[in-house]
Amino acid sequence: MYTLGIDIGSTTSKCAILDDGAELVGYSLEIGGLGTDGPATAIAKLWESCGLTASDIARTTVTGYGRMKFEGADDEASELTCHALGGRYVYPQLRTVIDIGGQDAKVISLSEDGRMSNFVMNDKCAAGTGRFLDVMANILKMDVNDFGACAAASTEEVSISSTCTVFAESEVISQLANGVKREDLVAGICNSVAVRVAALARRAGVKELVCMSGGVAKNEAVRRALEKSLEVDIAFDPRAQYFGAIGAALYSYNKLMKQKR
Ligand code: ADP
């Protein structure tokens, strides 16, 4: 029995299919979230990659920033619920999820039995989210995907003192004009995001096992800086950006199981 999870974010759309709530049979991603053709394209890509069609799906859950506007799912579930479920699917011992997406960041605490016990989020300020990194990549004329490798070459990390994205943008422009090396700036930019998210995490409470979810999990420099700031190991799975979609597919499966009982 296949269930589908769709996570419509602010910048990307992700889909995942689970078989009997266990095997991940397919997943897909398309740039473009709410208000774009991203969700439809991500779904089309999914059918193509796993050879299934809509008629094979027993139940669908939509989550994410764009979930309210999506028609065609049986259920909708909050991002908090889905990231917690998706994280726990990959790490059964999970107690803390640090989710950094394109426009917000959330820290979710789980009890031993996997229930959400607390959360703290920042959806008001771009600093401490993927948006900050995307803006900086644009100034530096870089691809944000290369930030991790670039920061790893830093020898003298530059501290970004501005707490506001707009001011930080000017700060980076003037540092560049002063001849500061790109890798040192990128290391400072990634650290600045990590410091903000670490403050959120401390408010939520950090218990191990800790993992990251969301697209920024792929940025190794942010991950390492978070580990340093929080003094914990942070688990990383290459499917971290899909945790919301995986959790949504699991949510559908759990609903079906409840109905059967
Ligand atoms: P949303 O769900 O809000 O659309 P995502 O969780 O998909 O957000 O994350 C999008 C963010 O992830 C982008 O803003 C970008 O900064 C970051 N990102 C995506 N892929 C990568 C990558 N390969 N390396 C570094 N950062 C990435």
Q: What is the pLDDT of residues 27-71, one digit of tens each?
A: 999 999 888 899 999 999 999 999 999 999 999 999 999 998 899
If pLDDT is split at 50, 70 and 90, which confidence band does 242 have?
very high
Strand, helix or coil for residue 230: helix
Residue among 10, 11, 103, 145 to mutate when testing ligand 1 (max atoms within 8 A of CB):
11
pLDDT in tens, 168-193: 889 999 999 999 999 999 999 999 99
Alpha-carbon distance of 99 to 94, in angstroms, equals 13
Q: What are phi and psi of 57, to 5 degrees?
A: -95, 125
Map tokens 């300020």 to a residue: 125
Alpha-carbon distance of 14 to 83, in angstroms, equals 12
237: alpha, beta or left? (left if phi > 0; alpha if psi -120 to 50)? beta
Question: DSSP E strands: which ranges in 9-43?
Answer: 12-19, 23-31
If pLDDT is split at 50, 70 and 90, which confidence band does 124 have?
confident
Whether 216 is in the pocket of ligand 1, judged by its Cβ within 6 Å, is yes
Strand, helix or coil for residue 242: helix
Q: What are phi and psi of 24, to 5 degrees?
A: -80, 105
Number of residues that make up the chain: 261
Per-residue DSSP letters for 149-217? HHHHT-SSPPP---SSHHHHHHHHHHHHHTT--HHHHHHHHHHHHHHHHHHHHHHH---SSEEEESGGG
pLDDT in tens, 77-103: 999 999 999 999 999 999 999 999 999
Whether 13 is in the pocket of ligand 1, judged by its Cβ within 6 Å, is no
Residue among 7, 132, 140, 144 to mutate when testing ligand 1 (max atoms within 8 A of CB):
144
The one-letter code for the residue type at 78 is S
Alpha-carbon distance of 173 to 237, in angstroms, equals 34
Strand, helix or coil for residue 18: strand
- C-beta of residue 209 within 8 angstroms of C-beta of residue 232: no
**CA dihedral over 88, 93, 95, 101, signed as positive or negative:** negative
Q: Output the CA 259–ligand 1 centroid distance in Å.
A: 35
Furthest-apart CA pair in the chain: how many Å? 67
Q: Which pTM does this prediction carry?
A: 0.95
Q: Output the CA 8–ligand 1 centroid distance in Å.
A: 13
Which residues sit opposite 98 in a β-bridge? 107, 212
Helical spans, DSSP H, in the chain: 38-50, 79-90, 130-140, 147-152, 165-177, 182-204, 220-230, 243-260
Whether 105 is in the pocket of ligand 1, judged by its Cβ within 6 Å, is no
Whether 63 is in the pocket of ligand 1, judged by its Cβ within 6 Å, is no
Residue among 218, 224, 226 to mutate when testing ligand 1 (max atoms within 8 A of CB):
218
